[in-house]
Chains A and B, each alone.
Chain A
Amino acid sequence: MLKIREDRQALARRIEISRVGVGALLSFLAVAYWFVQIVRGEHYFSLSENNRIRAVKITAPRGYVLDRNGAILVENQPAYTLHLYRREARDLEGSIAFIVELLGLSPDQVRSRVERGRREPEFVPIPIAENLGIEEVAAVQVRAVEHPEFAVTVSQRRLYKHAGSAAHALGYLSEATPEQIKSAGSVYRVGDWIGQKGIEGAYERLLAGANGERRVIVDSHGREVSEANRLEASPGQNLFLTLDLELQSVAEEYFRELVGAAVALDPETGEILALVSSPSYDPNWFTRRVTPAEWNGLLENPDRPLQNRAIQNMYSPGSVFKPFLAYGALAQGLVDPEGRVFCPGHAAFYGREFRCHKRGGHGWVDLRDAIKVSCDVYFYNLGRRLGIDRINEIATAFGFGRPTGVDIAFEKSGLVPSEEWARTKRGARWYPSETISVSIGQGPVLVTPMQMARAMAGLLEGGRLPTPHLFFSSQAPGTGAPLAYKAEFREGLEISPEKLQLVRNALWAVVNEPGGTAYGSRVEGIAMGGKTGTVQVIGRGATVRAGADPSKLQDHAWFVGFGPVEDPKMVVVVFVENGGHGNLAAAPLAKALFEARFGLAVPQPANTAVQASAPPPPGRLRPAADREAR
C-alpha cells in the first residue's frame, strides 16, 4: 500500500514535468510561427505574390458539322465575352450599375450571373455577358482604367449557319448542367459548354476534342507575365452527316406553315437524307444563353418546337399500316392474293358496324386493289383472320413498338398492342372489335415517323430493316483515320421475290394508276410508289387541346413514298398534323423531294449553296473518298 502511494507521487511529479514540456513545445512552435509569419511575413508575402502559376484552359475548337456534300451546317465564330474580376472590384454594386448602364443589360440578370459565380474562388473571373458587339467591346476597353474589374475575352461561339434548319437533327450547345458536371468521368466545369440532344449531344466527345492547358505565371494583379508550359488542345473532329442540305431545305420550305415531321431515308443503308420536325427553333438561341422570355416562349408554345416529332411523337399510322399487314400475311402464306372480298362500303363485325372510307363501297377487290384504293373492308376481313397477336408479330418484325436505334437520343418506342399488352399493361382485356380498328391502323397502335420510314425501307428490302443514322463520316482523333458509319441491319420477315414484287407493284399503283389514292402526286420521269394515310383526330383530349381552334380537329395526313420502284433509292415519310387527306397534304412534299433528289426540277437556289466567302473548316473538307463514290 505504501509503495504504491509513493509511486503515484513520483508519477504525479513526472506528469507535472511533462506538462511543462508540452507547454514549452507548443510555445516554441508559436514562436516559430511568429518568426515565419510576422518577422519573415513580408518576404513570404512577396514570394506568394510573384509565385502565382495559374492554369488557364485552352478550349479545343469544336468540330464543324457538314452535310454529305460538304456544305457547312454548323461552324464556330469568334465571340467576345465580358468577365468580372471580383478581386479588382472595390464596389461591386457600383460595378454592376456601371456595366448595366454601359451595355443596357438587365440589373437582375447581371446580379444573378454574379451570384452563380460566387462559389468559385475569388480570383476566378465570372462571365457576365456573352457575344458583345465590336462597339460594346470598344466601350468597355475605353473605360478600362476606371473599371479594371471588367475584361473582355475572345472565345469561339457555335454558329448554326442555317438558323432553324435541321435543328432537331443537330441539337444545340448549352452550359453543362450540375448533374453533367458531377457525372462519372466528367471533364466539365461550371460554365463549360456541352452538346445537348441531336448530333451535338450524340457525338459530343468526337466534336468537342480535348481541351489543353497553359500554365502561366501571373503578377499580383492577375496579369499574365509569362508562360511556364502548355499542353496543346486537340481539336474536335469535323463531322459529315448523311443529310442532304438541298433536300432538307425543300422539306423545310414545305413545312414553313405546317406542323409535322418528314424523314427521307436511303432504304439500303439507313442513311437519313432529310429530317424535319416543324415547328422548329433556332439553336443559336442557346449559345446566346436563352433569355427567360425566349425559354418560356419555347416551353409554352402549344406546338412544342423543342420536340423532335420525327422520333418523339407517336401517331396512329392509319392506312399506311395496311401494306405491312398485306406483306406479313403474304410472307406467312396467310392470304391468297387472288382472293377477293366484296366491299359494300361497310361491314359488321362482332355486332358493330365498321365503315369503309368510300361511302358507296369499292365492289370486288383483291389484295392489289385493296392497297391501291386503300379499301378498309378488305383489311377489316384480313385483320380478323390474322388476329391481334399475329398482327403484333408482323408489326414487331417491321420494328414498330421499339426504338429504331437512330443515333440521336430521346427516341420513343411507339406501341403495338397484343392480348398480353391489354391484360398486363392496359389492365382491360382485348376486345376482338379492337382488332378490326387496328387492321386499318387505328385504335391503340402508335408509331413515330422514323419508325415508319424504317419499316417501309424494310418492306422494300424484303424484310431487312436498316438502322437509321445521321453519322456519315469523320476522322479518328489523333490518327486521322477515316471513320464511317458501319451500317446495321435487323432481319425481319422473309418473303419470296414474286410476293414482294406484288406489294411493290400495288404501292406503285397507288400513285400511278387512275383510282389510286395518290394518283395526283405521280412524278414525271421516275416511278414513285407510296401509300397515303389519313388519321382521324378523336377523343376528348384532342377536343380540349383544340379549344376554340377547329383546325386542330382536322385529320392528320400521312404519306409514305419511295422510288424508283424497281430499285428504291429513297424512302420519304411525310406527316402533317391536322393536314387533312394524305394525298393532298402530305404527298406533294414527297413528290418535291423526289424531283430534287433525282434532279427532275430546278433545285432551290438561295441559301443552300456554300458561300465562297465562308472560312474553310479545319481538317478534311470532303467526305472520305470511298463514300464519295456512292
Chain B
Amino acid sequence: MIGGVLPGSRRLDLVVLGCALSLAVLGVLFVASATTGTRFEGLASRQAIWLAVGVGAMGAAILFDYRMLLKFSFAIYCVCLLPLVYLLLFGDTIANVRSWIRIGHFQFQPAELAKIATALLVAYLFENEDDARLHASTVMKLAAIVGLPILLVFLQPDMGLAITFLPLLFVGLYFGGLPARGWAAIAVIVVLLAGGAWFLLKDYQKARIGTFLNPDSDVLGSGYQVRQSKIAVGSGGFSGKGFRSGTQSQLRFLPVQHTDFILAVIAEEWGFLGIILVLGLFAALLLRALKLAQTARDRGGVFLVLCLTAMMVFSVVLNASMMIGLAPTTGIPLPLVSYGGSSVATTFLGIGLILGVDFRRFANA
C-alpha cells in the first residue's frame, strides 16, 4: 500500500489529449470550409464554442473521481435516459428524426449523453462481476442495460445513433470472457433478429441498405450520396485540391458535408495525406487509450475506458467506411471532427473520463 497520493505518480496522458484536440481543431477548420457561402455559414464558430464547452467538461471529468460516478452509475443512467423518453413523447422533429432538445439557441441530442451513462453502468456491472467465467445472468443484465437506450433511440427513429450503443455489448461479452459457443449462439440470434428487423425498418432505411448492397442501382436517389462522396474522396488524389477548393464539396454535391461527410471534404481538399493525418491521429488516440485501459487501477476503470474507446472505434471505422461505400450511410458522425455540438462535447467528456481513470491509476481513496 502506498501511503497517500504521490503527486509525481499522477500524470495526464498527453498523447490522448493532444490527438483529441488536434482532431477537434481540424474539425472546426473543415466545418468552416464546408459551410462558407451556404446557409450554414457560422456553424464553424458554433462548433468552436461547443469545443470549448467539451474541453471544460473534459477538465471536470478528469478532476472528478470516476469511482464516485461508478457508484452512482445506476442513478446517472436513469436520469440520462429520461430525456429520451421525453423526446419520444414531446420532441421536435428535425430532419425526420425526433432526437433534439432545444435549449435556448442551441440544440442538444440527449442520446449522446446517454451513451456515456450507459458506458458507466456497464463498467459498474463488470466491476462486480469479476468471475473468470461469464455468467448467463450477467449477459442478461448487460443486454438489458444496453438494450433499453437502443430501443429508445431506435424509436425516435435514429438507427445510426442506436447502433453506436452496440460496441458496449461487444465490450461486455468479449472482455467479460464469453466462450466460443456463446458467440455461436449470438450469431444465430443475430441472423434471426436481422430477418425480423427488416420488417421493422423504415423505407428510407431499407433503401439505404439496398443502395449499399448495390450502389449503382439508384444513381440519383440514395445512391447519390455514396457516389458523390466517393467521387469527392477519389478526386482528392494524393495531396488534394487545396483547402476550400474542393469542387465536389464547394459545389455542394454532398448534402450533409459538414456533418456526416466531413471526412469526404478532408479527403477531397487535403487528399490521401489528409486521410493519413486523420486516421493516424485516431490510431494514436485509440491505441493509446486501450493501453491506458491495461494499466487502470481497478476493474471498473478498465471497463470504463474500454467502453468509451470501443464506441469511438466503432464510429470512426463505420464513418470512414461510409465515405467510400464500404458501409451503408447510417448517419454516424466522425467523432470530434463532424459538426455536431452534443457529439463533440460528449466525446470530450468521454475522453476526460479516460484521462481521469489513467490519472488515478496509483491513487488511493
Contact = CB atoms under 8 A, between A and B. Distances in A.
Contacts of B282: 26
Nearest to B276: A30
Contact of A47 (B177, B235, B279): B235
A121 interface: yes
A141 interface: no
A48 interface: yes
A33 B232 CA distance: 12
Nearest to B320: A29
Interface string B283-298: 1001100110110000
B234 A43 contact: yes
Nearest to B244: A121
A47 B234 contact: yes
Contact of B275 (A23, A33, A40): A33
Contacts of A52: 247, 251
A91 to B, nearest CB: 18
Given A15-B293, A44-B230, A23 B324 contact: no
Contacts of A612: none
Contact of A29 (B36, B230, B271, B317): B317
Interface string A302-320: 0000000000000000000
Interface string B243-268: 01101101101000000000000010
A36 B233 contact: yes
B220 to A, nearest CB: 11
B13 to A, nearest CB: 15
Contacts of B248: 48, 51
A22 B290 CA distance: 10
Given A14-B174, A29-B320, A121-B36, A4 B130 contact: yes
A425 B251 CA distance: 57
A15 B250 CA distance: 42
A43 B233 CA distance: 11
A30 B279 contact: yes
Interface in A106-162: 119-124
A122 B317 contact: no
Nearest to A12: B294
A54 interface: yes
Contact of B175 (A15, A23, A33, A119): A15
Given A8-B299, A26-B279, A52-B251, A15 B306 contact: yes
Given A36-B233, A48-B232, A19 B291 contact: yes
A623 B48 CA distance: 56
Contacts of B287: 19, 22-23
For the residues of A in contact with B, the DSSP-based class is helix
Nearest to A18: B290
Given A30-B275, A38-B238, A38-B272, A53 B245 contact: no
B295 to A, nearest CB: 9
Chain A interface residue count: which class? 35 or more
A303 B100 CA distance: 57
B286 A22 contact: yes
Interface string A538-569: 00000000000000000000000000000000
A41 interface: yes
Given A26-B282, A34-B272, A36-B230, A121 B306 contact: no
Contacts of B279: 26, 29-30, 33
Given A29-B279, A36-B233, A119-B37, A53 B290 contact: no
A122 B324 contact: no
B236 interface: yes
Contacts of A47: 231, 234-235
A450 B36 CA distance: 46
Interface in A51-67: 51-54
12 contacts: A11-B302, A19-B291, A25-B313, A33-B272, A33-B324, A37-B271, A44-B231, A48-B234, A48-B247, A51-B253, A53-B253, A123-B251
Given A19-B290, A47-B234, 14 more contacts: A10-B177, A11-B302, A12-B294, A18-B306, A19-B287, A22-B290, A37-B236, A37-B237, A38-B237, A41-B236, A45-B237, A48-B248, A52-B247, A121-B250
